[in-house]
Structure 1
C-alpha cells in the first residue's frame, strides 16, 4: 500500500554543523510540485535539493551538490517509506564541515526519511472514474448505493431525461455496482470509463 501526507510537514536537523530543513507536502500534479519547491526554497541557503514522485512520474535535483548525492537519495527516501504523490525539499545551510559523498547521501536521504516517518500520512486509495446515467425516479436508489460503496461523485448534470454522473470507485466495487445499475435500469445503463482529458 502507498501513502501520502495529510498536510505539509517540516523538520529541522543538524548534521556536522550544517542545518537541514526538510519541507514535505502532498501533491496531485507536477505543477503543484514545482510551485511548492519555489515557495519553500530559500535563495540564501547553500542548497535547495528536492525530489517529487507522482505515480510513475518523478523528478529530482542536486542543486549544486555533487551528482546523485542529494536529489536521488531524497527520491529513494520517498520510495523507501512507501510514499507517493509527495514532494520534498531539503534546504541546507553549510556549517563549515564537508560531509563527503557518502555523508551527503546519508544526510539528504536520512533527513527526508525522518520527515516522512514523523509526518501524518494517509493511505492512497486508487479509484477509477466512470460515467453513468439514470432517470430521476432511479436516483434516490442509486445515490444510496453510491454512499454504501463509498463512491466519490466527481460531477453531476441534470437534464430533461435524468441525471448524468461521473463517479470514482475502487476496482473491487466495479462488478457489484455495474450489476446493480443494470438491474436498476433494466439493462438500459452500465458504467463507462471516463475518457482521459
Structure 2
C-alpha cells in the first residue's frame, strides 16, 4: 500500500436482515488485493453452501468489481459496491448471502435488501485509518548495513526487498509519509551521510 490514506475495516463485519421471508446475511472484511477479496468470498460461500445466491463487491484503491450472483442485473452487486463507497471505505470486500424465502421482491426490493444489508454491516463495523505511505529505496555501503537494519527495525518496517550491489545494500520498503524526514535525518546521522535515498 502506498499513496493516499484511507479508512478500512479493522475486523470482519456481519449483519443480517429478513425481507418477506428471504434472509440476507452480509459479511465484510478488509482486502488489500483482489485475490484476498475473492479468497474471503470463498470462505463466506463455504459457510453457506446451500444459499440461493452469493452477491458481492470489492473496492481496492482504483480497482473494483461486483457480481449479482444470479440475481437480475444491477440489483445486488452494484448496490453492495455503492454501500462500500457510501460508507467512505476502501480495501474492503462485502459478500451478501441470500436464502430465498418464497416471495419475489422485485428489482427495487432486491436493491434495497442487498444494499441495506451491506451498508448496515459496514456502518456498525469497527474501522481503522491507514495513513499515507510512500515507497522508498535506500542504498548504503556494506559497513553501514547494521545501522540501516537497526533503523528499519525501530520504525517497524517488516516488509522490505533487499538486493546487494557492488557498493553495498539496496533496500526498498514502504514508510509513513510523516516519518520520511525523520528517517532521512536518522539515516544521515547513522551513516555519516554515506547513503542514497530515492522516493519514486
- Shared fold (TM-score greater than 0.5)? yes
Is it true that 1:94 corresponds to 2:137 in the alignment? no
Query: RMSD of the TM alignment (CA)?
Result: 2.9
Could you tell me whether the CA contact under 8 Å between 1:22 and 1:115 is conserved in 2? yes
Give the paired residue count: 192
Residue 111 of structure 1: which of 110, 117, 137 is its match?
117
Question: Which residue of 1 is the match for residue 11 of structure 2?
Answer: 7
Alignment of 1:1-197 (within 5 A): 2-41=6-45, 42-134=48-140, 136=143, 139-140=146-147, 143=150, 147=154, 150=155, 152-155=157-160, 164-182=170-188, 184-193=190-199
Shift of 1:155: 2.8
User: Can you give the 5+ residue segments of structure 2 that lack an aligned partner in the other structure?
Assistant: none
Deviation string for 1:8-42 (max 9, x for gaps)?
Answer: 22222112221011111111211111122122123
TM-score by length of 2: 0.80
Q: Are the equivalent residues in 1 in contact too, given 2:144–2:191 (CA < 8 A)?
A: no
1:152 is paired with a residue whose SS is: coil
In the TM superposition, what whole-angstrom CA distance separates every residue of 1:79-136 from its partner, at most 9, and x where no partner exists? 1111111111100111122222121111111110100112222112231221224465
Distance in 2, Cα, partners of 1:156 & 1:139? 16
User: Distance in 1 between the 2:53 and 2:144 partners?
Assistant: 61
Tell me, in whole angstroms, the C-alpha distance in 1 between the residues paired with 2:89 and 2:105. 27
Q: Secondary structure at the match of 2:159?
A: strand
Q: Distance in 1 between matches of 2:127 and 2:136?
A: 27
TM-score, scaled relative to structure 1: 0.81
Work out which structure has the larger RCO, using CA pairs closer than 8 Å and 6 or more positions apart in sequence.
2
